[in-house]
Each structure stands twice: as C-alpha cells, then as structure tokens.
Amino acid sequence: MSDSLEVVTRPATGTRESRRLRRQGMVPAILYGHGEKCVDLAARREALELVIRHGSRVVDLTGAVTESALIRELQWDTYGLEPIHVDLLRVSKTDRVKVKVPVDLRGEAPGHRAGGTVNIVLHEIEIECTPDQIPDKIHAQVGGLEVGGVIKVHDLELPAGAVAVTDGDEPVVSCTMAGVKAEEAAAAPAEPEVIGRKAADEGKGEAEE
C-alpha cells in the first residue's frame, strides 16, 4: 500500500525551528539513503496522520521532492497522540528493506474453548522484503492451537519473497492454562530437572556402596 505525502523543505533546523513548525501544524522530517545527502523536510500533520491510519509504510513524496520513501521511524509526543518527527528512507522497487510488522491473530484456538488463555508473546516481528511486499500485519493462524501449544516465527506465513529477520524459533503465540506463564509454556522442557534427578540417584548409589 502506498500513499502520497506532500512535503516542503525546511530552511532551518534545530529545536526552536521544530517547535515553530509544530505550532503551525507541520511535522519535521528528514529524508536520507541511497548514498545521497540528507534533506530536511516537513509535512502537514493531518496528511501524515492520514497516511499512518491507512497503514502505509511506503509513501510517494510530492512537492519539494518526488521519490518513494519508507517511513523508517516515527517519533510521538509524550502522550503518544501526535507525531512530532518522521525519518524517511529513500527506496526503489528493487530494494530489500528490513521492517517491523505487527502480529495479528486469526481464528479461534481450540485451547481457548477448552479453558486455556491465548497469549501474544511477540507483538511484532522483523522481516526483510521489497517495499511493495510490506504487509500491514502478519497473521498468526490460531485455529489449531491447543492448550500447551506454541506458534513460533517459522510457523507464520509471510508474503512471497519475504524472509523473517527475527529468530525463527522465537515464540509468537501460546495457549496456557490459568497459573502458567506464557514464557514458561514457550520454553523447552526443563532438562536440568532430569539431570538433577540423575545426579541424586548417582549420589544415592555411591552412599549405598
């Protein structure tokens, strides 16, 4: 998904200038990448917020510059209500970029119907893909998730051509019974407990000798 975002150049930078722009309903921005020099820009807050609501990650810049850019980073005010700065990375259709994408649950877990609790362990994952492949969300299908089950990164279906940067063995979703932490359910069986019993048994045998 790609939206247009009109930008203007910023003749000056610094904290005072940024505050002045924000009072005028503008959001300071910087454009960089592809080995070209950085360009200080600004965009209307309403226009930027509209792009964000649409879920766009790549925008077609118009006005002061005309090129495609990835919304690399957004800074928000103290209350998380208004964007106060945006980093824009120049991209082309053939570039491969790394982005973090939120995880969305799809379906109803059988484990939930059995009395378990579905836990989102990882709220977003990082993937590498071309700009036109960036999804709004990564869907985790929980239709087969039973109590004690775990969905890991390598179980997720990614867009064609996209690869996960986040470790494939990282747990994303788990289903646990009351009193069991999500992290405990996602962990491997506690091997040290078996080793401890073995050591105790050996010690007992030595004592009997």
What pLDDT digit, counting tens, does each position of 102-152 carry?
999 999 999 999 999 999 999 999 999 998 888 889 999 999 999 999 999
Amino acid at 75: Q
| Res 158 pLDDT > 50 | yes
Q: Which residues contact 115 (CB under 8 A, 6 or more apart)?
A: 147, 177, 178
Please say whether the beta carbons of 137 and 100 come within 8 A. Answer: no
Homologous superfamily of 2-92 in CATH? Ribosomal Protein L25; Chain P (2.40.240.10)
Instruction: Name the nearest CA neighbour of 103 among 125, 126, 127, 119.
Output: 125
In this prediction, residues 176-193 reach a mean pLDDT of 59
% helix, strand, coil for the chain, step of 5: 25, 40, 35
Q: Which CATH number fits domain 98-186: 2.170.120.20, 3.40.50.2300, 2.40.50.140, 3.30.70.270?
A: 2.170.120.20
pTM of the full predicted structure? 0.69
Instruction: Name the nearest CA neighbour of 49 among 92, 93, 81.
Output: 81
